[in-house]
């Protein structure tokens, strides 16, 4: 058994949930916040068998594409002028971990 932990941009989360569900892949979603941009992310917890890892990763790759976006730097004070900066958003950070024990109660 494996646990796939995928951190994705909030804009990709709905489509990713739909695609995983359509492929009968159970998923738990947690709201999370990135440290650099303090932007909304969604962390997906996906338990799966070893033989389904590549299927899940391919679905994540197909939905979660990196893209450029203009944003004001985080931490600017109200009323202070801040020039927008171009940053890369989207994509996914994915961890695949061994699960020693799994119980569905």
Average per-residue pLDDT for the chain:
86
Q: Does 37 reside within a domain?
A: yes
Q: The domain containing residue 30 runs over which residues?
A: 2-98
Regarding pTM above 0.85, the answer is no
Q: Does 104 reside within a domain?
A: no
Report how many domains make up the chain. Answer: 1
Q: Does 103 reside within a domain?
A: no
Tokens 């159970």 label which residue? 26
Q: Does 67 reside within a domain?
A: yes
For residue 14, give the CATH number of its domain: 3.30.70.120
pLDDT digits 0-9 by tens, 50-72: 999 999 999 999 999 987 877 76
Q: Does 74 reside within a domain?
A: yes
Q: Does 39 reside within a domain?
A: yes
Confidence of residue 104 (pLDDT cuts 50, 70, 90): confident
Non-local CB neighbours of 44 within 8 Å, separated by 6+ positions: 4, 5, 6, 7, 8, 13, 16, 17, 20, 27, 28, 29, 30
């Amino acid at each position: 058994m494996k646990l796939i932990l995928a951190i994705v941009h909030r804009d990709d989360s709905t489509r990713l949930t739909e695609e995983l569900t359509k492929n009968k892949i159970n998923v738990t979603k947690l709201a999370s916040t990135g440290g650099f941009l303090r932007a909304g992310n969604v962390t997906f917890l996906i338990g799966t068998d070893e033989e389904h890892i590549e299927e899940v990763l391919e679905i994540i790759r197909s939905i979660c594409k990196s893209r450029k976006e203009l944003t004001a730097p985080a931490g600017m004070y109200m009323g202070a002028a801040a020039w927008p900066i171009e940053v890369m958003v989207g994509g996914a950070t994915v961890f695949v971990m061994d699960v020693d024990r799994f119980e569905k109660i």
